[in-house]
Amino acid sequence: MTTPLPSDASRTTMTEILLPTHANALGNAFGGQILAWMDICAAICAQRHAGLVCVTAGLDDLSFERPIKVGEVVQLEARVTAVFRSSFEVRVVVRGENPLTHTVWPCVEAYLTFVAIDAGGKPTAVPALAVATQDDERLKANAHVRREQRLARRKAAAGG
């Protein structure tokens, strides 16, 4: 049994500037570009925690609350919320930032499930997550509820 690891050990931040190539005709970020950065940020966080190559197994529903425009900054932050066995959940929060005024606003957040893969290409157990604060406890409890809902949805989609 390996020592549980704190979420701070794998917490990952990324900062991007929104260029015209990342935007739609309104000058707002393409949702797909934001999603790609979210997946990258979460994957780095996942692999820092697992110490193994990880694949994205799923992404829960999300809604874009406010746009980020060309010339503005995209802040991303990912942290592990709960470890199950070979799978575990990573929360990614995305904020927009006006670099001239330092104004920051929430854009979107999502929960991604990663699965750690061993040298033989099979799912393998990852280190447990150390829970130190009330916030850690709350995120973990909510993650377990979401996992049950995911498993139930997958079972229903597979026909029972």
Binding residues vs ligand COA (CB under 6 A)? 55-58, 84-87, 113, 115, 123, 150
Paired strand residues for 23: 29
CB of 13 to ligand COA, least distance (A): 21
Token couple for 52: 């193994």
Tell me whether residue 17 or residue 145 sits nearer to ligand COA (CB atom): 145
Contacts of 60 (CB under 8 A, 6+ apart): 110, 111, 112, 146, 150
CB of 113 to ligand COA, least distance (A): 4
Tell me whether residue 17 or residue 36 sits nearer to ligand COA (CB atom): 36
Tell me whether residue 33 or residue 67 sits nearer to ligand COA (CB atom): 33
Q: Given strand 53-59, what is the order of strands in its sheet?
A: 12-17, 73-83, 87-98, 103-117, 53-59
CB of 150 to ligand COA, least distance (A): 5
